[in-house]
Amino acid sequence: MKDKVNAGIIGASGYTGGELMRLLLNHPHVNLEMATSRKLAGQNVSKKHAHLAGLTDLEFEELDPVAVKQRCDVVFLAVPHGSAMDIVPQLIDSDLLIVDLSADYRLDVEEFEKVYGIKHHDPRKVVFGLVELHPEVKGETFVSNPGCYPTGATLAAAPVVNAGLADIAVFDSKSGITGAGVNPSQASHYPNMAENIQPYKLTTHRHRAEIWQELNGLGGLDSVNFTPHVIPAIRGILTTAHLFLNEECSEEDIRQLYDSFYSDCPFVRLVDDIPALGNVRGSNFCDIGFEIDTNSNRLVVISAIDNLVKGASGQAIQNMNLMCGFRETDGLWNAGLAP
Q: What is the CATH number of the domain that holds 130?
A: 3.40.50.720
CA 174, distance to chain mean position in Å, is: 15
**pTM score, two decimals?**
0.96
In a domain, 335, yes or no: no
Residue 286 known to be catalytic: no
Do 40 and 186 lie in one domain? The reply is no
d(CA 110, CA 103): 13
Identify the bridge partners of residue 142 per DSSP, sorted by sequence position: 98
Instruction: Give percent helix, percent strand, percent coil of the chain, each to the nearest 5.
Output: 30, 25, 45
**pLDDT band, very low/low/confident/very high, at 220 (cuts 50, 70, 90):** confident
- Tell whether the model's pLDDT for residue 173 goes beyond 80: yes
Contact 167, 246 (CB under 8 A): yes
Tell me the mean pLDDT in the region 99-120.
Answer: 97
Position 336 in a domain:
no
pLDDT in tens, 133-148: 999 999 899 999 999 9
Least confident of 3-12, 35-44, 192-201: 192-201
Q: Say if residue 152 is in the same domain as residue 299.
A: yes
Q: What's the CA gap between 29 and 7, in Å, rounded?
A: 10
User: What does the pLDDT look like over 52-102, one tens digit per residue?
Assistant: 999 999 999 999 999 999 999 999 999 999 999 999 999 998 799 999 999
Position 192 pLDDT exceeds 90? no
Is 333 part of any domain? no
The pLDDT, as a whole number, for residue 312 is 98
Catalytic residue among 72, 148, 249, 286: 148
Q: Is there a single domain that holds both residue 296 and residue 154? A: yes
Give the pLDDT band of residue 179 (cuts 50, 70, 90): confident
- Is residue 327 domain-resident? no
At 309, the amino acid letter reads: V
For the cut 90, the answer to whether the pLDDT of residue 43 exceeds it is yes
Those residues whose C-beta lies under 8 Å from the C-beta of residue 112, and which sit 6 or more positions away, are 103, 104, 106, 118, 120
Mean pLDDT of 312-335: 98
When the pLDDT of each residue in the chain is averaged and rounded to a whole number, the result is: 96
Residue % of the chain over a pLDDT of 90: 92
In this prediction, residue 48 carries a pLDDT of: 96
Q: Are residues 17 and 59 in the same domain?
A: yes
pLDDT exceeds 80 at position 1:
no
- In a shared domain, residues 76 and 134: yes
Residues in CB range of 193: below 8 A, 6 or more apart: 177, 187, 230, 232
Residue 236 lies in a domain: yes
pLDDT of 2 over the 90 cut: no
Q: Any idea which of 31-45, 172-186, 241-255 has the lowest mean pLDDT?
A: 172-186
Considering the domain architecture, whether residues 152 and 294 belong to the same structural domain is answered as yes
How, if at all, do strands 142-144 and 127-128 pair?
parallel
Same structural domain for residues 164 and 256? yes
Same domain, residue pair 125 and 82: yes
DSSP state of 44: B
Of 91, 60, 56, the closest CA to residue 73 belongs to 91
Q: Which phi and psi (to 5°) does residue 169 adopt?
A: -125, 130
- Average pLDDT for residues 35-59, to the nearest whole number? 96
How confident is the model at residue 93, as a pLDDT? Answer: 81
State the greatest distance between any 2 C-alpha atoms of the chain, in Å, as a whole number: 62
Residue 78 inside a domain? The answer is: yes
Q: Do 123 and 267 sit in the same domain of this protein?
A: no
Task: Please state the domain count of the chain.
Answer: 2
Pairwise CA distance, residues 105 & 116, whole Å: 12
- Which residue range forms the structural domain that includes residue 134? 3-144+311-322
Distance (Å, whole) CA 151 – CA 297: 25
If asked whether residues 292 and 168 sit together in one domain, one would say yes
In this model, does residue 47 exceed pLDDT 80? yes
Write the DSSP symbol of residue 87. Answer: H
Confidence of residue 314 (pLDDT cuts 50, 70, 90): very high
Decide if 8 contacts 75 (C-beta within 8 A). yes
Whether residue 183 sits in one domain with residue 139:
no
Q: Is 201 strand, coil or helix?
A: coil
Cross-strand partners of 270? 288
Question: Per the domain annotation, does 170 fall within a domain?
Answer: yes
Q: What is the CATH number of the domain that holds 198?
A: 3.30.360.10
Report pLDDT for 272.
Answer: 95
Q: For residue 289, is it within any domain? A: yes
pLDDT tens readout for residues 279-299: 999 999 999 999 999 899 999
Same domain membership, residue 172 and residue 286: yes
